[in-house]
Structure 1
């Protein structure tokens, strides 16, 4: 039996992961900014948690360890979608997005790590997105948060491996998780950007509830990976995620190869260039 702490459990992936972990016989502390949304979920414990409130993060993690005796899995899922061109976003909007989806995840991770290191085991699950590997017009702010989360998490994985702690970065494609619905943040519009972002805006306005991915199946895959001794660092979920990430990696490899000679030719004669 594993003990889980999961953020953002009011709907979508968070709620589905709670249900999958409970079905596996595990115990779960489910959290949400508005705890009344967790009624009827059946979690072992529930707690109010705004991941942008550092003191609340520390308290909820400490309470979970106290109540359950230990933590085995910490899932950073809190967040929301966002659409808008880079110029259309205000800096305040961008900071707010990063605060929830990057700094919030970092805060929860840092609060849990001392407990996981001390016990010599545990898994940090970062719910990223195929947008942590792939970008498109109109998703710059959202992808920025996910790229940052993945960069931090890759470094973290190497840092905590000696302590028996693992990191799992989950990269879903389009799933029926209310992404694109009322919780979707939408920036102001600048008419000039209709040429490059109008298709993205239209897609987000119409996708909610029609996405091909099943959150219950995604949750089951995450539970399976958590329980697998050979889980990957990156776990893509959905045909669209696998295809888009593979294509992005192929483009990067092609660019690297095409410009390899020029890239390697930037080395200089240190004995001459390093002179004052």
Structure 2
């Protein structure tokens, strides 16, 4: 196995932490990035340090704020100083907003777009020049099944994840000629193992919420409904399954990595949607004469 230098954003908890641990156990040098290492996230840093010591793996905490281009560039400078290269970036950092869409303010909408989509551009603007110089690299994105199958009560979140995935896909075509691979990992909803729902933000315009009567109350039953769907499908998927999926896809040879992989405990069927979109996209790109951009190639 070729040891890779990997940065995982938003690695303090949930899926990001699971991915960072899985990749470290696989033998890679993994930077688990998050904000406020010495303040808000000090406990998480200490937990990662204990894990690294117990498992004897190379898992390092990295100060990185995905909302700050300066912070991202400083973080990648540190990685290059310590290791001399950057092989993989996992764009995972994100936030959740739950509630009636109309009740979220434009400022809230801008915030979630900034965190879940624009941050991917910031991170890539720092990572891509390094990977182009190396003539290789992998960009991994943690997407969402909601980008394809939309749901009520998480409108801002859906819009931000769909925007992020669209940006990731467009950038993948432009990066492919330089030997840079892209993979979008598409998890379903995990009701345990993350702080996603516990840390969700609600709408600020409460007067609007009251105009929807009893409709917002239906939110309370969705968590239980998801758990029922999980039990029916009985796929046995957890947040650790996402970490394993990222590890497995990075083990694949150059040019053989799938563009999207789904880890969905509810089995919504987004793979079928992706297959149809992929076929139509290939046909259109062939007519445009740019089908070669759909697969990375060695420069």
TM-score range, shorter chain: 0.7 to 0.9
Verify the 8 A CA contact 2:34 2:65 in the aligned structure 1.
yes
Aligned Cα RMSD in Å?
Answer: 2.7
Q: Residues 111-150 of structure 1: matches in 2 within 5 Å?
A: 111-150=126-165
Aligned to 1:40: 47
For the residue of structure 1 that corresponds to 2:95, the secondary structure is coil
Aligned to 1:243: 268
Q: Does 1:225 align with 2:249?
A: yes
Query: Structure 1 residues 141, 244: closer, same or farther in 2, change over 3 A?
Result: farther
Verify the 8 A CA contact 2:89 2:127 in the aligned structure 1.
yes
Aligned to 1:274: none
Report how many residues are paired: 251
Q: Deviations over 1:121-149 (max 9, x none)?
A: 11111111112222111111001111011
CA distance in 1, matches of 2:45, 2:31: 11
CA distance in 2, matches of 1:202, 1:223: 34
Residue 95 (structure 1) shift: 0.9
Aligned to 1:203: 222
For the residue of structure 2 that corresponds to 1:144, the secondary structure is helix
TM-score, L = length of structure 2: 0.76
Aligned to 2:184: 169
For the residue of structure 2 that corresponds to 1:87, the secondary structure is helix
CA distance in 2, matches of 1:228, 1:29: 21
Residue 106 (structure 1) shift: 1.4
Q: Does 1:4 align with 2:27?
A: no
Q: Does 1:81 align with 2:106?
A: no
CA distance in 1, matches of 2:109, 2:131: 31
Aligned to 1:28: 30
CA distance in 2, matches of 1:83, 1:103: 20
Bigger radius of gyration, 1 or 2? 1
Verify the 8 A CA contact 1:134 1:248 in the aligned structure 2.
no
Q: Residues 182-197 of structure 1: matches in 2 within 5 Å?
A: 182-188=198-204, 189=206, 190-194=209-213, 196-197=215-216
Verify the 8 A CA contact 1:170 1:236 in the aligned structure 2.
yes
CA distance in 1, matches of 2:18, 2:274: 29
Aligned to 1:97: 112
Verify the 8 A CA contact 1:13 1:215 in the aligned structure 2.
yes
CA distance in 2, matches of 1:180, 1:205: 16
Q: Deviations over 1:158-203 (max 9, x none)?
A: 1111111011111100223435543111114413435654323542
Q: Does 1:178 align with 2:178?
A: no
Q: Deviations over 1:9-34 (max 9, x none)?
A: 11111111111111111101111113
Aligned to 1:234: 260
Query: Structure 1 residues 124, 250: closer, same or farther in 2, change over 3 A?
Result: closer
For the residue of structure 2 that corresponds to 1:231, the secondary structure is coil
